[in-house]
Amino acid sequence: MKLWLSKHAKQKIDERKVRVEDIKEVVKDAEVVFYDIDSKAFVSIRKIVFEGVETNLVVVYKKEKDAIKIITVYPCRDIEKEIKRKEVKRWIRIR
């Protein structure tokens, strides 16, 4: 899988110390996938071990011709709250 990182994504990955391997795993094998109608991007979520703690990693991306363009990445402990807040207003559940 070929990834292309936006400038914003690179900055957030560095700030949050997220591993590219974790990002690939979330995109490839997400537990939950949404479509964000505002940004016209996919949102994949999966549990990972981040800095020794199990948490959820949220990866926002667009599918390009031959690559996945990562828009942003963030860990989220309370994923149910995040989903509840966004699902009604802007996220459509795909799976």
**All residues at 6 or more sequence positions from 30 whose CB lies less than 8 Å from its CB, including other chains:** 44, 45, 46, 59, 95
pLDDT at 70: 97
Which residues of the chain are modeled with pLDDT < 50?
none
Q: Structure tokens of 13?
A: 């990955």
pTM of the model: 0.93
Q: Quote the pLDDT of residue 50.
A: 79
31 within 8 A of 93, measured Cβ to Cβ: no
Strands 68-76 and 53-63: antiparallel
At 45-58, the pLDDT tens digits run 999 997 788 999 99
Position 24, amino acid:
K
Residue 13: per-residue pLDDT: 95
Domain ranges of the chain: 3-93
**Predicted local confidence at residue 65, as pLDDT:** 86
